[in-house]
Structure 1
Amino acid sequence: MGANHEENSLRYRRAQSVTTAEEITEKEKRARRSQFDRPCHKPRDSLFSWTSEFTNFTGLVNWGFLMLTIGGLRLCLENFLKYGIRVNPFEWIIVLTGYNEGKNYQYPSIILLMYSVVPAVISLLIEKAIAADLFTQKLGVTLQIINLLTEISLPVIVLNFSNQEFSFVGITTVCMIYLVIFLKLWSYCQTNHWCRNGTRTKKSKSLRRQSLSAPNSKNSDHEKTDDMMGIVKYPDNLNLRDLLYFLLAPTLCYELNFPRTTRIRKRFLIKRIVEVIFGMNLILALFQQWMIPSVKNAVDPFSQMDVVRITERLLKLAVPNHLIWLCFFYLSFHSFLNLMGELLHFADRNFYNDWWNSRNIAVFWSTWNMPVHLWAVRHVYIPITEMGYGKGLAGIVVFFISAFFHEYLVSVPLQMFRVWAFLGMMAQPPLSVISKFVERKLGVRWGNIIVWSSLILGQPLAIMMYYHDYAIAHYTPK
C-alpha cells in the first residue's frame, strides 16, 4: 500500500508530457490543482502565436502610427531641404481651369465637358422613340450603340484632329467624365431594354389571361399599391429630370426607383465638404512637392536599364504614390460620393467594402470600388453567363473591358499609345490565381500581403514606365 501511495504521489508530481497544450485533459488539470504545490501554470500559447486568439494589438498599432509619423516627418524635411518648397496653389488653379489651353481663351476642355450632356440627351430621345414605336427595337439598339461609341471616341477625335492645345489635367478630366457617362448610358440603355421586354411580356400574358377568364384581381391590387407608393414604371421614367438625376447620382447602375433618404444631414454634409476641400489641396500639394521630383529622377535609371537604381527609385516612389492613392481613395469614395449622395438624397452609400482585409486579388477587385464592381457584374458578367458562357470567360471579359478603359484614361491624355496599364490589368487574373494559392497554402495573412504588395509596388512601376516613355518622346533632343 505504501509503495502504491508513493507511486501515485510521484505520478501527480509531474504532468504527463504532451505535444500540444490542448491535449492536456480536464482530469489532469483537476489532479494538478488538488496538490499542495500551489500550481500557477496552465496551458497557454504565446500572444504572438496565431493559435493564441489574442487580438488586442492597440499599443502596437499606436507604435506603428508613431513610427510612420516620425518617418514621414523626416522624409518631408529631406524633401524640403533637397527641392525647396514647390507647392504653388496658383499653378494648380491655372492648370485645373484650363487657362493655359488653346489660343484666344477658347478653353477646349471646358467646351468638351459642356458638350458631354448632348450624348445623354440623344440617348433619352432614342429611348422615347423606341417606347413610342417610332423606331423598331433593332434600329433603336443600333442607334444607341453608335451614340455610345461616338461619345467615348469624341475626346480621342478632338485631341488628335484639332489644333487646340489641351493641358494634361484638362484632357484627363474630360476622359474621366466621358468614361463615367459612357458607363452610365450603357446601364441606362440596357435597363430600359429589360423594362421594355418585361412590360411587353407582362402585357401579352395579361391579354391571354383576360381572353380565358376574368381579370386577375391580385395584379390589379399590386398595381394600385405601386401607384400609392409612387413607384415609377416604364416608360414614365423616360424624362429629362430622371436622366439628369441619374447622371449626377453616385452610381453607375440605373434603376427606375432609387432608394431615397428623407432629409439632408447638415452636420454630415459640412464634414464631407471640409474633407473634399482639404483632401484636394493635400493631394495636389503631395503631388507637386513629392511625386513630381521622384518621377523625374527615375528617367535616367530606366534609360540606362540600371536594375539597382531602378529598384531604388521604385521603392522611393512607392511611398508618396501609395500615400496619394490612399488619400485619393478616401477623397473620392468616401468624401465626394457621400457628399453627392447626401445632396441628392441617395440612400445606397455602399461605395466600398473592407478591401484592406482582402485575402486575395480577386476579393480586392470585388470590394474596393463597388460602383464599378456592381456595374461590371450587372451589365457584363451576368448577361454573358445568361447567354450560356462560362464564368471564367465572363470574368476575363470583365477584366479586358477594365484594362481597355484603364489604358484609355492614360494613353489618350498622354497622346501616346502604350500598353502598360492594359497589361497591368490583364495580369490581375493570373496574379489572382497566385494569391489564392498563397492564401490556401500559407494562410489568409500571406494572401493579404500579396494584395498590399501589388498595390504598393505595381502602381509606381507603371507610372515610372509611362513617364519614361513620355519624357523620351517629348523632351529628348532630336
Structure 2
Amino acid sequence: MGANHEENSLRYRRAQSVTTAEEITEKEKRARRSQFDRPCHKPRDSLFSWTSEFTNFTGLVNWGFLMLTIGGLRLCLENFLKYGIRVNPFEWIIVLTGYNEGKNYQYPSIILLMYSVVPAVISLLIEKAIAADLFTQKLGVTLQIINLLTEISLPVIVLNFSNQEFSFVGITTVCMIYLVIFLKLWSYCQTNHWCRNGTRTKKSKSLRRQSLSAPNSNALVNAEQDQNSDHEKTDDMMGIVKYPDNLNLRDLLYFLLAPTLCYELNFPRTTRIRKRFLIKRIVEVIFGMNLILALFQQWMIPSVKNAVDPFSQMDVVRITERLLKLAVPNHLIWLCFFYLSFHSFLNLMGELLHFADRNFYNDWWNSRNIAVFWSTWNMPVHLWAVRHVYIPITEMGYGKGLAGIVVFFISAFFHEYLVSVPLQMFRVWAFLGMMAQPPLSVISKFVERKLGVRWGNIIVWSSLILGQPLAIMMYYHDYAIAHYTPK
C-alpha cells in the first residue's frame, strides 16, 4: 500500500506527458504556477521548429549575404589571377553598334528593325478594311494570319537566303523585337475581333428589340435607348475610346511602344511623369547594361569556353564541375538581366508613356512550385498567354490541361526561335527544356505536398541555377564544333 501511494503521488507531481507543447492545458499551467517550487519552465518550442512561429532571421540573412560577398570576392580574385582583366569597353561599342555588319556601309539589322513597322501598319490597314466592310471577316482574318507568319519568318528568311553579314547581338535584337511585335499584333488583331463581334451582336439585339410589335415593347426599347445614350455621354466625357475609333496609327504606335503585350482600347494612364523616378530608372539601365557586359567578358565567356572539351569527351565528372562553376556567373547575370529588363527598362518606358499598370513581375522568388514561378516571374507574357491562348482554348470546350500544354508548346517554340535563329543552327535544347517544365511542375507540386513549401521552392531555385547553364554549355559546344572544328 505504501509503495502504491508513493507511486501515485509521484505521478500526480509530474507534468502530464504530451506530444507538443500546445497540448498542455491552461488548467495545468495555473496549477504549476501555484506551487512553491518557483517554476521557470513553460511550453515553448525550439526556434528552428515550424511550430515555434519564430520569423525574425535577420541575423542569419545578414550572415548569408556576408558569406556570399566573401565567396564572390574570392571568385573575382581567382578569375582575375587566372584570366587577367578581360573587360574592354571598346569591344562593347563594336558589338553593340554592329561594326562587323558595316563593312560595305550596310547594316542589315538596322534595316530589319526599321522594316518591323511595316507589318504593324499592314495589320492596321486590314483592320480598317474589315471595319469598313471592304473585306469579309473571314478574308480579313486570313490576311492577318499571313501577315503575322510573314513577319515572324522574315528574320529567318533574310538570315539564311541573303549574303548579308549579321552580328550576333544584331540578329538577336532583331529576333527579339520581331517576336515582341508578333505577340503584340496577335493581341491587336484578336482584341479588335472581340470588339467587332461584340459591337455587331449589340446592334443585332437592338434591331430585334425594335422590331417587336407589342405596345409595352416600344416603351422598353425607348428606355434602353435613353440608358445607352446616357452611357455614351458618360464615356464621351471620360474620353473612353470605342471600336472602331481606335483604328488609327497613333493608337497602334502607342501600343507598340507600351510595356505590355496585351492590347486594350483604353489603357490606364498616369497624369504626370515623376522626374526623380525616371532618372533612377535611366541610371539603372545604363549601369545594368555595362555590368552585364562586363560580367560576360570577364566571367561568363572563359567559363563557357572551358566547358567544350569535357562535353566532347563526355567526362561526367568534369562536366559536372564545369556546370557548377558556370552556374554562379550565369545565375548572377540572369538576376541582373531580370532586374534590368522587368524593373528598370519597363518602368522607364511606362513612365515615359504614362502607362499606369506596372505589374511586370510578382514575387516569383517565393514560388512554391514550377507552375507558380512561370505565372509570376514574367507577367506581360503570362497575361498574354492566359488572355489570348489559354482562355480561348478553354472557351472552345477543351480541357485546362490541354490549354496549358499548348501554352508551353508555343513558349518552347519561341525560346528555340530566339536561340537557334541567331546561332544559325537548329537544335532542340531550349525547346526540350521548356517542354520539360510541365512534368517538372508535377514533380515540384508533389514535393511541395509531401515535404512542404520550402522544398518546393528549393526545386524551383535548383532548376533556375542548374538548368540554364546546362543549356548554354550544350549550345556553345554544338556551336564550337560547327564553326571552329577544322574540317
After TM superposition, is the score higher than 0.5? Answer: yes
Q: In structure 1, the residue corresponding to 2:101 is in which secondary structure?
A: coil
- C-alpha distance after superposition, 1:115-152 (max 9, x if no partner): 11010001001101111111111111111000000000
Cα distance in 2 for partners of 1:141, 1:194 equals: 12
Q: Is the 8 A contact 1:350 1:370 kept in 2?
A: yes
Cα separation, partners in 2 of 1:38 and 1:9, compared to 1, 3 Å: farther
Look up the match of 1:402.
Answer: 411
Q: CA deviation at 1:13?
A: 3.5
- C-alpha distance after superposition, 1:412-468 (max 9, x if no partner): 000000000000000000000000111111111110000000000000000000000
Task: Report matched runs for 1:152-167 at 5 Å.
Answer: 152-167=152-167
Q: Is the 8 A contact 1:273 1:339 kept in 2?
A: yes
Q: CA deviation at 1:25?
A: 1.0
Cα distance in 2 for partners of 1:391, 1:9 equals: 65
Segment of structure 1 superposing worse, 299-308 or 91-100: 91-100
Cα separation, partners in 2 of 1:334 and 1:129, compared to 1, 3 Å: same
Q: Is the 8 A contact 1:353 1:367 kept in 2?
A: yes
Are residues 1:236 and 2:245 paired? yes
- C-alpha distance after superposition, 1:43-86 (max 9, x if no partner): 11110111111110000000000000010011001001100111
Look up the match of 2:212.
Answer: 212
Cα distance in 2 for partners of 1:383, 1:270 equals: 40
Look up the match of 1:38.
Answer: 38
- C-alpha distance after superposition, 1:3-35 (max 9, x if no partner): 999999755542122222122111110110001
Cα distance in 1 for partners of 2:216, 2:99 equals: 65
Q: Is the 8 A contact 1:351 1:369 kept in 2?
A: yes
Structure 1: which 5+ runs fail to align? none
Instruction: Decide which of 448, 457, 479 is 1:470's aligned counterpart.
Output: 479
Cα distance in 2 for partners of 1:286, 1:216 equals: 76
Q: CA deviation at 1:102?
A: 4.8
Cα distance in 2 for partners of 1:3, 1:437 equals: 55
Are residues 1:285 and 2:294 paired? yes
Look up the match of 2:431.
Answer: 422
Q: CA deviation at 1:335?
A: 0.5
Q: CA deviation at 1:216?
A: 12
Cα separation, partners in 2 of 1:215 and 1:353, compared to 1, 3 Å: farther
Cα distance in 2 for partners of 1:475, 1:89 equals: 26
Q: CA deviation at 1:221?
A: 1.2
Over 6 Å off, 4+ runs: 1-9, 213-217
Q: Is the 8 A contact 1:232 1:256 kept in 2?
A: yes
- C-alpha distance after superposition, 1:395-420 (max 9, x if no partner): 00000000000000000000000000
Cα distance in 1 for partners of 2:420, 2:427 equals: 6
Q: In structure 1, the residue corresponding to 2:146 is in which secondary structure?
A: helix
Q: CA deviation at 1:209?
A: 2.0
Cα separation, partners in 2 of 1:312 and 1:189, compared to 1, 3 Å: same
Cα distance in 1 for partners of 2:479, 2:189 equals: 38
Q: Is the 8 A contact 1:99 1:105 kept in 2?
A: no
Cα distance in 2 for partners of 1:169, 1:425 equals: 23
Cα distance in 1 for partners of 2:17, 2:204 equals: 79
Q: CA deviation at 1:210?
A: 2.4
Q: Is the 8 A contact 1:358 1:448 kept in 2?
A: yes
Q: Is the 8 A contact 1:129 1:135 kept in 2?
A: yes
Q: CA deviation at 1:92?
A: 1.1
Q: Is the 8 A contact 1:180 1:252 kept in 2?
A: yes
Look up the match of 1:175.
Answer: 175
Cα distance in 2 for partners of 1:293, 1:280 equals: 19
Cα separation, partners in 2 of 1:221 and 1:37, compared to 1, 3 Å: same
Instruction: Decide which of 353, 369, 392 is 1:344's aligned counterpart.
Output: 353
Cα distance in 2 for partners of 1:112, 1:215 equals: 64
Q: Is the 8 A contact 1:127 1:189 kept in 2?
A: yes
Cα separation, partners in 2 of 1:267 and 1:106, compared to 1, 3 Å: same
- C-alpha distance after superposition, 1:348-406 (max 9, x if no partner): 00000010010100000000000000000000000011111111110000000000000
Cα distance in 2 for partners of 1:344, 1:2 equals: 91
Q: CA deviation at 1:211?
A: 2.8
Q: Is the 8 A contact 1:127 1:140 kept in 2?
A: yes
Q: In structure 2, the residue corresponding to 1:315 is in which secondary structure?
A: helix
Alignment size in residue pairs: 478
Cα distance in 2 for partners of 1:46, 1:30 equals: 23
Cα distance in 2 for partners of 1:214, 1:436 equals: 60
Cα separation, partners in 2 of 1:215 and 1:307, compared to 1, 3 Å: farther
Cα separation, partners in 2 of 1:216 and 1:209, compared to 1, 3 Å: farther
Cα separation, partners in 2 of 1:213 and 1:29, compared to 1, 3 Å: farther
Q: CA deviation at 1:99?
A: 1.4
Q: In structure 2, the residue corresponding to 1:212 is in which secondary structure?
A: coil
Cα distance in 2 for partners of 1:73, 1:216 equals: 83
- C-alpha distance after superposition, 1:188-226 (max 9, x if no partner): 000000000000111111122223379999222111111
Cα distance in 2 for partners of 1:214, 1:29 equals: 80
Q: In structure 2, the residue corresponding to 1:418 is in which secondary structure?
A: coil
Cα distance in 2 for partners of 1:290, 1:32 equals: 64
Cα separation, partners in 2 of 1:206 and 1:82, compared to 1, 3 Å: same
Q: Is the 8 A contact 1:102 1:166 kept in 2?
A: no
Q: Is the 8 A contact 1:295 1:317 kept in 2?
A: yes
- C-alpha distance after superposition, 1:142-200 (max 9, x if no partner): 11000000000000000001101111111000000000000000000000000000001
Cα separation, partners in 2 of 1:3 and 1:417, compared to 1, 3 Å: closer
Look up the match of 1:56.
Answer: 56
C-alpha RMSD of matched pairs (Å): 2.0
Q: Is the 8 A contact 1:360 1:447 kept in 2?
A: yes
Cα distance in 2 for partners of 1:360, 1:20 equals: 30
Cα distance in 1 for partners of 2:17, 2:184 equals: 67
In the superposition, the TM-score normalised over structure 2's length comes to 0.95
Cα separation, partners in 2 of 1:12 and 1:94, compared to 1, 3 Å: same
Are residues 1:321 and 2:333 paired? no
Segment of structure 1 superposing worse, 15-24 or 462-471: 15-24
Segment of structure 1 superposing worse, 409-418 or 208-217: 208-217
Q: CA deviation at 1:100?
A: 1.3
Q: Is the 8 A contact 1:12 1:31 kept in 2?
A: no
